[in-house]
Amino acid sequence: MVATKADPEHFPEVPNGVSVVIPTLDRADVLLDTVGDLTRQDFSEYELIIVDQSEAPAEAVVGFLRTQAVTARYFKADFKGLPAARNFGWRHARYDVVLYVDDDIRTDESLVRAHYEAHVRTGAALVAGGVYDAKDGPDQGGSGFVQLVDRARPGQLPG
């Protein structure tokens, strides 16, 4: 799910990039696969923010990130709860678009770019799910679904 960092009236016409927030709790093994996929994106203006609520730090993930060129920040949180972790990540985001992903996703190299382009193309304040135009559907080359929320008409799809 993606949410804007600024309120919709002040969201820039062209967002400056994407902050990917990954909350996690005791899942270092699957987190490493997720982070591996997210370090190989075909989009350059993004960062990874990992909010780890586990008792022990995910040393393998931290070690892996040290070898990667992508900007990534690993936070060892002293609180528990998915909403709290997402909010923490949002507060530390450096980019206009915030993309929340689970710690066990697998993705190709286009995930971050596709979400960014959905914002730019539609002017939507919120994009949820996989990315393709809702009117086209997955049979038109997309996967998953997208729901675009029009800033000018909250609760309504643009169109």
Domain with residue 89: its CATH number is: 3.90.550.10
Residue type for position 42: D
Q: Is there a domain that residue 131 lies in?
A: no
> Does the pLDDT of residue 91 top 80, yes or no?
yes
Condensed to tens digits (0 to 9), the pLDDT of residues 53-65 reads 999 999 999 999 9
> Does the pLDDT of residue 8 top 70, yes or no?
no
> Does the pLDDT of residue 124 top 90, yes or no?
no
Q: Look up the pTM and report it.
A: 0.77
Location of structure tokens 């075909």 = 42
Q: Is there a domain that residue 35 lies in?
A: yes
Q: Is there a domain that residue 25 lies in?
A: yes
Q: Is there a domain that residue 145 lies in?
A: no
> Does the pLDDT of residue 105 top 50, yes or no?
yes
| Number of folded domains that form the chain | 1
Q: Is there a domain that residue 81 lies in?
A: yes
Q: What is the mean pLDDT of residues 50-54?
A: 97
Condensed to tens digits (0 to 9), the pLDDT of residues 65-83 reads 999 999 999 999 999 999 9
Q: Is there a domain that residue 120 lies in?
A: no
Q: Is there a domain that residue 151 lies in?
A: no
Give the whole-number percent of the chain exceeding pLDDT 70: 72
Q: Is there a domain that residue 72 lies in?
A: yes
Location of structure tokens 């270092």 = 28
> Does the pLDDT of residue 29 top 60, yes or no?
yes
Give the domain range for residue 44.
Answer: 2-110
> Does the pLDDT of residue 12 top 70, yes or no?
no
What is the full DSSP assignment across 43-107? -SSEEEEEEE-SSS--HHHHHHHHT-SSEEEEEE-SS--HHHHHHHHHHT--SSEEEE--TT---
